[in-house]
Amino acid sequence: MYNGEPVSLIASLYKDVKTKKRVRTKYLRGLVNQLDRDSQSKGATARIEVDFARFIVENLLYLEYGVIEEVFTVIYTIDRIISVTGITLLQTIETGDTTESIRTLAQRAIIFSLMIGLKQYLKMAFNLTEARCRAFDPKRTGAAKDNKPALRAQSVGVVDWPEIPYLETSFENDAQMHEQLEAVPPFLVLC
């Protein structure tokens, strides 16, 4: 914490890449893509640890972005992941597909809830509308409106993620894993 506000632990690394536009957007996309199990491996065995995902999400949440384009880049990348992997996860949950264990699905559900929460908090903190986020096109970067300094309209404070039931505790039984899976669909529908 700095002056009572949470800070990103990756801020000094980000500061090093901040001066190079192409590098910083690639860096931010890479961080968000770490949350997508399907982008990590072609096989279905790749696993993202929940604690690692939370570390990435919270650091992206508290990062001092240079320009608003960087915030849009993070949100755009989250939307891309949700539109492919998230919908696949939702369909897997709804159809009862047993290709993956219930534990793995529940952990993936936590990670997707974290990503959706990150998107919502960034939109709130930088006073962004869904329409404005969807209008962002990373291929047409450099627009004057996207190069404005990223000024937080609201402080986020310390986030405790109350909407994610088993983020901080391990699953003790299948009922808890199913409870976590049931907590995901409303979040996916919001995005």
Locate the domains of the chain by residue range: 11-190
Burial 116-126 (b: 16+ CB within 10 A, else e): bbbbebbbebb
Q: pLDDT tens digits, residue range 126-175?
A: 999 999 999 998 887 655 566 788 888 888 788 888 888 888 888 888 89
Q: How far is CA 79 from CA 29, 96, 133, in A?
A: 12, 24, 9
Q: pLDDT tens digits, residue range 57-77?
A: 999 999 888 889 999 999 999
Tally of CB atoms within 10 A around 32? 23
pTM: 0.82
Q: pLDDT tens digits, residue range 67-119?
A: 899 999 999 999 999 888 888 888 888 888 888 888 888 888 899 889 999 99
